[in-house]
Amino acid sequence: MKLRVSLLLVASLIGAACTSNEPAAPRLAVIDDTGNISLVDAATEDRTRITTNAASSLSYFQPVWSPSEDLFVYSEATPDGSRLVLVDGNGDFKKRIETPVSSFFHQWNPQGDRIAFLGNGAAGLEFHVADVEAGTTTMLGTGAPFYFDWSPEGDRIIAQVGREELSIRDLDGAVETLDAIPGEMQAPQWTDHGRWYVSDGRLVLDDDGSTRTIAIADGFITFAVSGDRVAVQSTTTGQDGTSVAFQPAPVSLDPGLHVVDIESGETELVNRDPVLGFWWSPDGTRLAYLTLDDLDTVEGSWHVWDGTGLTTVFPAGRPSLQFFRDLAPFFDQYTRSMTVWSPDGESLVHPMVLSNLAGIWVLPLSTGEPTQVGDGVWATWNR
């Protein structure tokens, strides 16, 4: 069974960067057990309450940090309407943008001046873009599922809509359909190297029409690019396994999670079994990944591969229901919008039950000993 489908079954079982070159002071945006949003200083565990009035008629969803400013956005939904709310790293309100649909997923462009978001509306699943300065929104597409990423310049989108379409969309609504067969439920990515997507069992790098096959698999491919390396997972494979297509005769690899050097073609097997998700560190030198260790207890362990073959393993815990339901089945899309890594690359964060204590846990690489920083079901570091 495909990992994403099994993750949804698992859920039923358990019921911003500074403008300088210096990393930002590590802070967390969290959703606590009451559904309210707070800022948390992981070093002191101090909390700044952003909202206090979450209720059945007022909900808040997924705070996500800007990649270019000390700012984060979350969505707010009431019977009277919905909006995106912008708050700075000190917890001070900055702006509200009225939205035609309630966003359940939002992603900043690299420049931090626009926010793409998804929500259910009259046309079904709708894709919109908010102009932060103008405070306006524009619908640029419909269809489900809808996966996307921003161009490095922040003025275009690559999108996969269902299994019908891979396309490039600009902010004026123009759509260029790519001559490629979309994969199943995979998020594309757009980096300085070009546009990345899965098509017909191949991981493809498309540099303005010049395409190059990076990996081939009989199974289900997910990936995340950082710099000159790409982490590639094949969840299920046939007899031929997974091939990395650089050499005239592609090298066959065992199923699992691999890291591939884009330029040299060198590959390394990171984990043989399928993982729930993987995120590159801010400097792109290490890869954090979450294994599912026990399907009965629904416990998993975070691992950090350091690029030299050494791996740090943290104690196993049970991820939150919200993680299994909202994030894990779509983790590759979330790698484009948020991170489990602290901005200094020294810690991870995860909402889970550990040592019978449910909450937000910080996992420092220096000690390997998790620290609880309060209750909560969602957490992400500033970038």
For residue 168, the domain's CATH number is 2.130.10.10
Q: Which amino acid is at 380?
A: T
Angle, vertex CA 92, rays to CA 89 and CA 96, nearest 5: 105
Does the N-terminal peptide bond of residue 145 adopt cis geometry, omega within 30 degrees of 0?
yes
Token pair, residue 2, equals 């495909």
Between the CA atoms of 311, 312, 318 and 320, what dihedral angle is there, to the nearest 10 degrees? -90
Task: For residue range 254-300, list pLDDT tens digits in order.
Answer: 578 999 888 887 888 899 888 999 999 999 999 999 999 988 899 99
CA distance 119 to 111: 23
Residue 24: per-residue pLDDT: 62
How many folded domains does the chain comprise? 1
Residue 254: per-residue pLDDT: 54
CA distance 9 to 144: 20
Q: State the pTM of this model.
A: 0.89
Each residue's pLDDT, cut to its tens digit, for the chain (383 residues) gives: 444 544 544 444 444 334 444 556 789 999 999 999 999 998 898 999 999 999 999 999 999 999 988 999 999 999 999 999 999 999 999 999 999 999 999 999 999 999 999 999 998 999 999 999 999 999 999 999 999 999 999 999 999 998 888 999 999 999 999 988 887 768 999 999 999 999 888 889 998 878 888 888 767 788 999 999 999 987 754 434 444 443 323 334 457 899 988 888 788 889 988 899 999 999 999 999 999 998 889 999 999 999 887 788 999 999 988 888 889 889 999 999 999 999 999 999 999 999 999 999 999 999 999 999 999 999 999 98
Residue 21, C-beta contacts closer than 8 angstroms, at least 6 positions apart: none
- Considering only CA atoms, which of 234, 259, 369 is closest in space to residue 309? 259
Task: For residue range 145-165, list pLDDT tens digits in order.
Answer: 999 999 999 999 999 998 888
- The domain containing residue 337 runs over which residues? 3-381
Give the other-Cβ count within 10 Å of 20's Cβ: 7
Burial pattern 162-185, b for ≥16 Cβ within 10 A else e, equals eeebbbbbeeeeeeeebebebbeb
